[in-house]
Amino acid sequence: MEKLDDLQRALREKQLELEQLEDDYYNHSNSISEQFCELDSRRSELEALLQETYEATNYSLRQDDVINEESFHLMNQIIESFQIELDTEYDNERRNLLDLEEERKQTYVKERYAI
């Protein structure tokens, strides 16, 4: 009877460990999801700001009779370089989050099998 009690106690401890591990994994996954949402939100805000800047600059250039096509071309190059930089940094951050997510998943699986 004592062995059965010991086995039940050990089983309960393992169940508690597993529940804690799952809770930690769930919380970490939610945190990463929130970071993805924040990243997307910031990207949208920056793209909107770039668009507003483009429109305001374009309007301003059109009001000036002295401005030539080269000015518009230069403005487009500047906006395009900002967009490329934004896309590059967004992709880097997204890749980092994906790597973090995958690393955490692998850790969870290893720890789960260890229990």
Q: What is the pLDDT of residues 73-105, one digit of tens each?
A: 999 999 999 999 999 999 999 999 999 999 999
- 75 Cβ neighbours under 8 A, 6+ residues apart: 54, 57, 58, 61
Residue type, 99: D
Q: How confident is the model at residue 67 (pLDDT cuts 50, 70, 90)?
A: confident
Max intra-chain CA distance, the chain: 98
Distance CA 8, CA 87 (A): 55
Q: Residue 115: pLDDT above 90?
A: no
| Domain boundaries of the chain, sorted by first residue | 2-114
Q: Under a CB-based contact definition with an 8 Å cutoff, are residues 54 and 79 in contact?
A: yes
User: Which value, in Å, is the radius of gyration of the alpha carbons in the chain?
Assistant: 27
Distance CA 47, CA 22 (A): 37
Query: Structure pTM?
Result: 0.82
